[in-house]
Structure 1
Amino acid sequence: MLASAWADFQANLWLYLSMPITSGLVGYATNVLAIKMMFYPKDFIGKPPLFGWQGVVPRKAEKMAGIACDTLVPNLVTEREVFERLDPDRVAEELEGPVLELVDQLIDEIMSEFEPTIWETIPLRIRDMMVRRAQQDSPEVVAEIMDQIKDSIDQVFDLKRMVTSTLTEDKSLINKVFLETGRDEFVFIGRSGFYFGCIFGLFQMIGWTFYKGDFQLPLFGLLVGYLTNFIALRMIFRPQLPKKFGPLTIQGLFHKRQKEVARDYARLIADEIVTPRKILEAVLTGVHSDRVFTLIARNVQRAIDEQAGFARPFVALAVGSRKYIQMKQTAVDRLVKRLPETLHVVDNYAKEAMDIASILSSRLERLSPPAFEKMLRPAFQEDEWMLIAVGAALGFCVGVGQLIVFKAIAVTPAMTGAAAVLGLG
């Protein structure tokens, strides 16, 4: 028996040696496929609900975004903390040029629209004086509005809602969050699939040398597809804390990289999600924007009334109080509509002042292992069984293919003797 097995092995050396390589490739392919299935395609392809596929993360974007947001808000950063770092006077200073230009445009635009005749007959010197007078107090009004927004930030801005809606609406972005956070881990999953697959393939080779049961190759293929995924996931997240085994110190790969992940994750959040532009747009156009609009309207209308005292002979008395009120409301509406674009000039200052990346990075580094694991683990946990099952099924199919090839080769003259001894001929 042993002699026949050895003769068979020598006669078909390359065939046997292909087993570990094939098994390694199966392990690699199934692991990489599982990763791809987590994130792609971004939109459902096929015939819903049973036939087709959509990446696990995009399909459950809202839940994934909620989990990611729970890690950030309010555990790591709050609305008040973000805005407390902004200096209203500095914001007014940054906005001075664009706001003065906007005031000039609005006065000319509204007067030309409501009372073109009167506006055209007013001497240019007087018109310029009216504009300069209106512009004079603009920075002060901006600073006052900023102060009032800061005082009521909890009522006018929902950071968690902003983060969740941003991630939910942009499936590419939520994919990016997980892909960049677990960049090294995903590479490890693919490579480990090959290494572990090769190891399993060696056992497969030894087993096939001495016993050529029809079930053996498909079973090994299934086990390779299943175990390579399972083992890789365990090695990424376990153990959470370093453990010594003799001279070796073992720790889950993701936890070992906590400082590096914290830095990259914080940079991504600060650059793509919690940006000054998105924050200001959320304040001005979000679910609580009506409160902000009321606050801005009250301040702007008051400023207009204070300035109109100077120009009343040319404006209020000439156009009538009703039209004057309508003009004020139009001015406020157009001001608020153009504010998001105007406010973008403060992006650089706001990003530097808020310093979201540094805040998040330092706090993420101090997260407990269970809390830190929640940053990446949800991407694997959702439908993990399905991903592993697909890997196992693919491995099984490759094993069946191997069996067909090996059976075909078993009838060649080189293997006839061994096949007869083993009852395969």
Structure 2
Amino acid sequence: MPDYIIQILLFASIPISGGLVGWGTNIMAIKMTFYPIEFVGIKPIGWQGIIPSKAKKMAVKSVDMLTTKLLKIEERFELVKPERIAMEMGPSLNKLARQITDEVMQAQAPTIWNSTPRFVKNQIYENITKELPQLVVQMMNDIKDNIDELLDLKTIGVNALTKNKALLNDMFIRCGKEEFKFIEKSGLYFGIPFGLVQMCIAVYYVNVLGTGTPWWLLPVFGLVIGYATNWLALKLIFEPLYPRKYLFGLFEFQGLFIKRQPEVAVEYAKIVSGNILTTERLFEFMVRGPGATRLAEIVRDNLEKSIETTISSTRGLVKWVVSDKQLEVIQNIAVYRFMQELPISIRDTFAYAEEALDMENMLEEKMAGLTEKEFEGFLRPVFQEDEWILILVGAVLGMVAGILQYLVLFQ
């Protein structure tokens, strides 16, 4: 092959490789933003994805928007109807009441209880179950009145995201998927023009100055391409915040992420309602979190009142079965057993609670209604936290690619 053809091919390879370097470095920079989830290497040498390495900080920033701009838990719980909760829990509570009644009576007066006529037992069961709906209604009203003490959405959200770094990654990846694709492709779009400039400089050195391609040209431009493509891509994702016209009004542009607000709102609402603020997680926090003591007080106070009312209404039936002292013991045991079993019974209400709270639709609507500035604050922290690292990674990878390109093609 003639030398001039080889020279043309070498020069032509510069913009092509410039595009590939920009594309490859951007892909690598995005991957390094999220992976690996856990640190790989021997500290201090090694790497952990930028997001997982700052999991607590990222989670706090993400949840801040949720709790300050999108969701007020007391407003959502106002939509939960205590009467409906009582209806949902009815079958399991009735069964539980009979079971606990049999347990405590067998424990305190087994002989007499076993010989008690069935109609008397049934009357006692009936009197007990009559009290249960009112018990649940009153208990739910007390829970709603004290919901701020029982639930801390910020803690729930931060704990969910820091304990599950893959979920934190997934939230940002799913909400920003189009932007991350753009960053990857932009390396190719911007890399080729930079490569053309690089090619012109190389042609000047070879054909005008006659010195050959300088050794520094490809590494320096590789660094510039890696840096500039990442920087430009990040700018175009978030800026301009509002639609702006260019080229004498012929072309309008708005930050790519900002423009996708309605679409992102749908994805975000699904993730938060389905993986973070689930009904089960809210309930788990109430029974095991800092507010568990207060919840136990609410449940115990209502149980004691209800059981006391029930015993008073059935005293005529049971006075010949147990003594007053035994009734006091029975009351204490019944409260204890109900406290044990109630968390299981309340799970019957989860389907209704999800329907009533309607987290997904509410979050979607609220997020879609944020101002552009407020909305930018959701994804922007992913890059702001260590934006310089993301850009620097692209620059260093670009320089390394430039060195390899020089060694392979021009040595």
110 and 383 in structure 1: CA distance in 2 versus 1, 3 angstrom threshold = farther
127 and 45 in structure 1: CA distance in 2 versus 1, 3 angstrom threshold = farther
250 and 88 in structure 1: CA distance in 2 versus 1, 3 angstrom threshold = same
Normalised TM-score (structure 2): 0.89
1:244 is paired with a residue whose SS is: strand
Asked if 1:138 is matched to 2:132, the reply is yes
Picking from 164, 177, 181, the partner of 1:183 is: 177
Q: Which residue of 2 aligns with 1:25?
A: 20
1:196/1:228 contact within 8 Å kept:
yes
2:269/2:364 contact within 8 Å kept:
yes
Pairwise CA distance, 1:114: 6.0
344 and 244 in structure 1: CA distance in 2 versus 1, 3 angstrom threshold = same
Quote the Cα distance in structure 2 between the aligned partners of 1:229 and 1:106.
Answer: 66
Quote the Cα distance in structure 2 between the aligned partners of 1:208 and 1:54.
Answer: 38
Please say which of residues 266-275 and 290-299 is displaced more in the overlay.
266-275
Matched ranges for 1:352-391 at <5 A: 352-391=355-394
2:308/2:331 contact within 8 Å kept:
no
Quote the Cα distance in structure 2 between the aligned partners of 1:111 and 1:44.
Answer: 59
Matched ranges for 1:226-375 at <5 A: 226-245=227-246, 246-309=249-312, 310=314, 312-313=318-319, 317=323, 320=326, 323-324=329-330, 326-336=332-342, 339=343, 341-375=344-378
Pairwise CA distance, 1:160: 2.1
1:393 is paired with a residue whose SS is: helix
Q: Which residue of 2 aligns with 1:45?
A: 40
Quote the Cα distance in structure 1 between the aligned partners of 2:53 and 2:218.
Answer: 35
Asked if 1:158 is matched to 2:152, the reply is yes
Asked if 1:394 is matched to 2:400, the reply is no
Pairwise CA distance, 1:352: 2.2
1:52 is paired with a residue whose SS is: strand
- Deviations along 1:215-266, one digit per CA (max 9) or x if unpaired, are 0011111111111111110000000000001210011001111111122212
1:110/1:331 contact within 8 Å kept:
no
1:30/1:394 contact within 8 Å kept:
yes
1:43 is paired with a residue whose SS is: coil
- Deviations along 1:289-341, one digit per CA (max 9) or x if unpaired, are 111110001111221122223154377528736633541342243134xx1x4
Asked if 1:406 is matched to 2:409, the reply is yes
Quote the Cα distance in structure 2 between the aligned partners of 1:116 and 1:207.
Answer: 101
110 and 375 in structure 1: CA distance in 2 versus 1, 3 angstrom threshold = farther
Please say which of residues 383-392 and 174-183 is displaced more in the overlay.
383-392
Query: What letter matches 1:151 in structure 2?
Result: D
Pairwise CA distance, 1:126: 3.6
Pairwise CA distance, 1:182: 0.6
Q: Which residue of 1 aligns with 2:226?
A: 225
Quote the Cα distance in structure 2 between the aligned partners of 1:259 and 1:197.
Answer: 31
Quote the Cα distance in structure 2 between the aligned partners of 1:265 and 1:277.
Answer: 19
Q: Which residue of 2 aligns with 1:59?
A: 53
Normalised TM-score (structure 1): 0.87
325 and 95 in structure 1: CA distance in 2 versus 1, 3 angstrom threshold = closer
1:207 is paired with a residue whose SS is: helix
273 and 218 in structure 1: CA distance in 2 versus 1, 3 angstrom threshold = same
Query: What letter matches 2:336 in structure 1?
Result: T
12 and 141 in structure 1: CA distance in 2 versus 1, 3 angstrom threshold = same
Quote the Cα distance in structure 1 between the aligned partners of 2:309 and 2:328.
Answer: 17
1:74 is paired with a residue whose SS is: helix
Please say which of residues 268-277 and 326-335 is displaced more in the overlay.
326-335
- Deviations along 1:370-390, one digit per CA (max 9) or x if unpaired, are 211111011112222222222
Quote the Cα distance in structure 1 between the aligned partners of 2:177 and 2:103.
Answer: 53
Pairwise CA distance, 1:406: 2.5
Please say which of residues 119-128 and 283-292 is displaced more in the overlay.
119-128
2:241 is paired with a residue whose SS is: coil
134 and 381 in structure 1: CA distance in 2 versus 1, 3 angstrom threshold = same
Quote the Cα distance in structure 2 between the aligned partners of 1:33 and 1:113.
Answer: 69
- Deviations along 1:74-121, one digit per CA (max 9) or x if unpaired, are 322112111011111111112212222333333344555666555544
316 and 176 in structure 1: CA distance in 2 versus 1, 3 angstrom threshold = farther
